[in-house]
Structure 1
Amino acid sequence: MAYSLLERINSPQDLKKLPAGQLAPLCEEIRAFLIESVSKTGGHLSSNLGTIELTVAMHRAFTTPMDKIVFDVGHQCYTHKLLTGRRQQFDVLRKLNGLSGFPSPRESVHDAFIAGHGNTAISVAIGMARAKKLKNEPGKVIALVGDGAFTGGMVYEGMNNIDTLNNLIVILNDNKMSISKNVGSLSRYLTVLRTNPEYNRAKANTETILSAIPLLGSPLVRALQGGKALLRRGLYHSTMFEEMGFQYLGPVDGHDVIKLTELFQNLHHQTAPVFVHAVTVKGKGFKPAEENPGEFHGVSSFDPSHALDPDVAPAASFSTCFGQHLEALAESRTNVCAITAAMKYGTGLQYFYRHFPDRFFDVGMAEQHAVTFAAGLASQGMLPVVAIYSTFLQRAYDQMIHDVCLMDLNVVFAVDRAGLVPGDGETHQGIYDPAFFRQIGIPVYSPCNYAELTYWLEYLLDQGKGPRAIRYARGGEPETLSLLGCSKQPYDVYKAEGPAKTAFVTYGTLTAEVLKAAQLLKQQGTDVDVYKLVQINPLPDGLCEELTRYDHILFAEECMEQGGIGDSLGAALSEYRWPGHLTLRGVHSGRAIPHASVAELREVLGLDASSLANAIERD
């Protein structure tokens, strides 16, 4: 498809030169481009299709990098990247050394802040707006926040501290609610009126004059403001945002690029923090995504002309295996509940939800609440299973310590996307959970294939004492690991043909690389035994005794080297006064992990088979 307008936009200044009548056609070209591009590379689709007009209007009305656009989560930033000169890099979106799927200040001066987790944009924007005030810098700070972010408490913590920042604009991208027909015309009229610079100046002057009247001035101002508040309450059914100090504007049509541009241009004269409520359609312009926005939130490559509902026949993965088996186990275990944080489909819990809706809880982007809520359930005899991505579970670290561990409550953590994660880069890696579970004494199991996942999930549900966790990778099981079958022991040993003085120790899907490394060494005349752990914390009984007979041990894990399970093994071996040499291979602290495939990430980190084999030879 030809993109005659889009190809003319290589910077925000090019957009400003475009005639107003060509903005809507440009938005349609962007929509077509994103569908075509993401269908090839994978990425976040629904959220980007819903924010095209909003983003075009922002760049038309504001000037980055003087004005700062802060995205909440950041997965809706693709149009922003197109308008800021990165169109030709979209064929390597989320690829190694390619375009990030999230805003990245290292990538462009137009990206104000990195954004991989939700609920953060308002707090960041307040900090930026305050810094501009302190430094007497011009420009606005605009936070684009999806309605899903408002399920997390940090949004409200931020809004409670907006003060009188008249360079702060918060745009709510609301794709869940519709504009009420009976108040639509009047609310639109008031929005136009209240965004007019002359209105704001007149309002300020009137209140100043009234306040100066002796005795009666202040009561008159309060009465005027109170009357307006009553009117707003009738129109909008809520004055929460205005009570927090915002000037509330909306609801407005989030797909009317002309009206949005006019509104944003008028905000150059704002006298208070502004909250713009824009109503959009998630997945706008692509019917499968409009009908199933959750399923098309993050996608792999697909055929746009044959895009099926992924929920009808989802690809086999650890997540679907977990979800289907939990549903089956819950049939006879009536105290089992399932909790997720805005990731019902991502964690495979749609199966549980359909069968046991009364025992399923999606708490939104509120991981802290999810864990403490689970503690409340457990304290009353229920068995909550908290299914959260590893990268997001770390947000609930305090709640795990204080609300679950101190009372030794019966909570099962199902840690999805554990280990290295492709595509999303440094903000989404699941490389911390083994270390923090180890620090707070939670038992952890890490299956390497579906058979182990189903066996150990059932084991953990029936164990029935204290918090425990099971962690598993994103995507499907490697074929080589599927052939291993189910280990019903805390660890297995794969012996070399000859006597070995060297051993590999590992867990999870990294086992595939370690077994391959052992084969490479065998071909070079070196025999190496492989220990595959399922129970990774605490270390299985008898493991250290076995390992002390080796001269050299290499422990490999997709986790932080500092404080990880390898560190735990090193400490345990030292207690045995083992004289051998331990090599740790994991992720070094302070190292940013790029966006790439898992295979590429393993090469970058030295966790691929060749690098592991070479490490044995060097040491």
Structure 2
Amino acid sequence: LDPTLTRFREEVEHTVARIPAIGARAYSLGKDVKESMKALIVPGMLFEELGFAYVGVVDGHDMKALRVALRQALDTRRPVVVHVRTIKGKGYNPAEERPSEFHGTPPFHLGNGELASETKGTTFTQAFGQALVREARDDARVVAITAAMTQGTGLEAFEREFPQRLYDVGIAEEHAVVFAAGLALGGLKPVVAVYSTFLQRAFDMLIQDVALQDLPIVFAVDRAGLVGDDGPTHHGAFDLSYLRMIPGMVVMAPSSQEDLQHMLHTALVWDRPVAIRYPRGFAVPFVAAQELEVLPLGEARVLQEGEGVALVGVGTGVGLCQAAAALLHAEGLHPTVVDARFVKPLDTGLLDRLVETHDRIVTVEENVLSGGFGSAVAEYLAPGGMPVTMMGLPDAFVQHGTRAQLLANVSLTAEAVAEAALRSRSGAIPAR
């Protein structure tokens, strides 16, 4: 795509088109012949049909060729697609041989590419994958859908055992949700495994194609909460808020891998859309539930009976509430600790009982406060005037760092929860 040649060609075409009597027909015929020939041998015809100029294919490892291509693109007077082809991990054999493993890595040994320290235990992602395989063995209607994230969402084992029941739609979360809707209408039980931050792309489809038709689709929402060094583009900070507002959507958050198994089993039994959100990491020994339970819809569980203040957590917030309760014992307080399990619907019966027997409530979640779990609790309790202290992510984009660093930065620690419980004796509702 040389700019000088392009301008010359455009001027010739314009001149031919103005020839009296035959100009328009000659121009049209010449254009048809040219496009037909290009379609046979040029890879960029799709883009040119859409009105783009096309430069490529360029070797992405050839700096001289890249500079030439980019200069051509800059000199072109219409939208341009520059098609560059690279090899993932070019120049480092372990990465070239195992590209998917090097998409994003913790510290590793340069000599062989092996991780510097093996993670002992099972992450929530891996636990989900194992639980899904178990469900698929018992029900042939269970299928999995991923948007180019088979490994990232823990579906490798599922793919090995049920290769014909895993659908990778590519980097197209919107299509993944619509595709799941079609499968559900056809009688299957689709499970869409997706990162929280990427499910946002399909928000309209969640409403138009799933919720409006009340379709039985399970959304396995991975990387919910703070993900660490990937930073603000990858934190799962908003899913509780944008899922909670959708009519008919059930939203659950497990506090343990065992609970995740029960929630997935429950979601596949219910004939309605369900989202299960769980965090990155949290490696612990995996224990398969002996008997899978169908959880009662919208029912929380009390982990520790107490008095005065109730610490109500959801997901990772439950562990913080338990740790904070241990700290409060030293201060002479004996709080009630609740695992909400459900963000929607809320266990309003339990909340009513807490209002009758407690002075104040502290909610803890790894989601923005705006529209999240604490917001739902506060909305329900507002008419009665019960003080609710909400702890969660701030109204800001959380930056890069380790999970531990970031949680400390946003005051989501056991110490901060305990401090909030002590402060809430005054009835204040701090904004975090």
Select the residue among 223, 227, 232 that pairs with 2:38. 232
Unaligned runs of 5+ in 1: 1-193
What is aligned with 1:402?
208
Deviations 1:409-451 (A, max 9, x none): 1111111111222112222221222222221231122111211
What is aligned with 2:428?
none
Q: Which amino acid aligns with 1:612?
A: V
Instruction: Tell me the TM-score normalised to structure 2 length.
Output: 0.88
- Are residue 448 (structure 1) and residue 255 (structure 2) matched? yes
Q: What secondary structure sits across from 1:358 in the alignment?
A: helix
- Are residue 350 (structure 1) and residue 118 (structure 2) matched? no
Does the Cα contact within 8 Å between 1:502 and 1:552 map onto a contact in 2? yes
Does the Cα contact within 8 Å between 1:389 and 1:416 map onto a contact in 2? yes
Q: What secondary structure sits across from 2:220 in the alignment?
A: strand
Query: What is the root-mean-square deviation of aligned Cα atoms in Å?
Result: 2.7
Select the residue among 414, 420, 425 that pairs with 1:609. 414
Mapping of residues 243-262 of structure 1, within 5 Å: 243-262=49-68
Q: What secondary structure sits across from 1:302 in the alignment?
A: coil
Mapping of residues 44-59 of structure 1, within 5 Å: none
Provide the rounded CA distance (Å) in 1 between the counterparts of 2:155 and 2:192. 10
Does the Cα contact within 8 Å between 1:443 and 1:537 map onto a contact in 2? yes
Deviations 1:472-521 (A, max 9, x none): 11112468x99xx999664332336xx52111100112222222222222
Does the Cα contact within 8 Å between 1:502 and 1:528 map onto a contact in 2? yes
Counterparts in 2 of 1:434 and 1:614: CA distance versus 1, 3 Å? same
Mapping of residues 11-30 of structure 1, within 5 Å: none
Select the residue among 344, 366, 370 that pairs with 1:537. 344
What is aligned with 1:213?
19
Does the Cα contact within 8 Å between 1:292 and 1:309 map onto a contact in 2? no
What is aligned with 1:159?
none
What is aligned with 2:430?
none
Q: What secondary structure sits across from 1:426 in the alignment?
A: coil
What is aligned with 1:50?
none
Provide the rounded CA distance (Å) in 2 between the counterparts of 1:529 and 1:487. 27
What is aligned with 2:144?
338
Provide the rounded CA distance (Å) in 2 between the counterparts of 1:542 and 1:266. 67
What is aligned with 2:5?
199
1:242 Cα offset (Å): 0.9
Counterparts in 2 of 1:315 and 1:269: CA distance versus 1, 3 Å? farther
Aligned length in residues: 415
Does the Cα contact within 8 Å between 1:248 and 1:276 map onto a contact in 2? yes
Instruction: Tell me the TM-score normalised to structure 1 length.
Output: 0.63
Select the residue among 369, 375, 395 that pairs with 2:175. 369
Provide the rounded CA distance (Å) in 1 between the counterparts of 2:319 and 2:292. 15
Select the residue among 551, 557, 563 that pairs with 2:365. 557
Q: Which amino acid aligns with 2:373?
A: I
1:391 Cα offset (Å): 0.8
What is aligned with 1:460?
267
Counterparts in 2 of 1:493 and 1:405: CA distance versus 1, 3 Å? same
Q: Which amino acid aligns with 1:449?
A: S
Provide the rounded CA distance (Å) in 1 between the counterparts of 2:241 and 2:406. 20
Deviations 1:547-578 (A, max 9, x none): 11110111111112222121222233345x3x
Select the residue among 375, 386, 405 that pairs with 1:600. 405
Counterparts in 2 of 1:495 and 1:554: CA distance versus 1, 3 Å? same
Mapping of residues 502-541 of structure 1, within 5 Å: 502-540=309-347
What is aligned with 1:587?
393
- Are residue 493 (structure 1) and residue 298 (structure 2) matched? no
Does the Cα contact within 8 Å between 1:430 and 1:559 map onto a contact in 2? yes
Q: What secondary structure sits across from 1:299 in the alignment?
A: coil
Q: Which amino acid aligns with 1:596?
A: G
Does the Cα contact within 8 Å between 1:515 and 1:530 map onto a contact in 2? yes
Mapping of residues 87-102 of structure 1, within 5 Å: none
Most deviating of 463-472 and 533-542: 533-542
Counterparts in 2 of 1:332 and 1:351: CA distance versus 1, 3 Å? same
1:308 Cα offset (Å): 4.2
Provide the rounded CA distance (Å) in 2 between the counterparts of 1:270 and 1:567. 52
What is aligned with 2:227?
421
Q: What secondary structure sits across from 2:337 in the alignment?
A: strand
Q: Which amino acid aligns with 2:400?
A: H
Counterparts in 2 of 1:318 and 1:198: CA distance versus 1, 3 Å? same
What is aligned with 1:573?
381
Does the Cα contact within 8 Å between 1:247 and 1:275 map onto a contact in 2? yes
Provide the rounded CA distance (Å) in 2 between the counterparts of 1:284 and 1:223. 45
Deviations 1:116-165 (A, max 9, x none): xxxxxxxxxxxxxxxxxxxxxxxxxxxxxxxxxxxxxxxxxxxxxxxxxx
Counterparts in 2 of 1:592 and 1:313: CA distance versus 1, 3 Å? closer
Q: Which amino acid aligns with 2:415?
A: S
Provide the rounded CA distance (Å) in 2 between the counterparts of 1:511 and 1:617. 18
1:204 Cα offset (Å): 3.0
1:297 Cα offset (Å): 1.0
What is aligned with 1:271?
77
Q: Which amino acid aligns with 1:529?
A: T
Q: Which amino acid aligns with 1:492?
A: R
Does the Cα contact within 8 Å between 1:200 and 1:271 map onto a contact in 2? no
Unaligned runs of 5+ in 2: 425-432
Provide the rounded CA distance (Å) in 2 between the counterparts of 1:385 and 1:439. 21
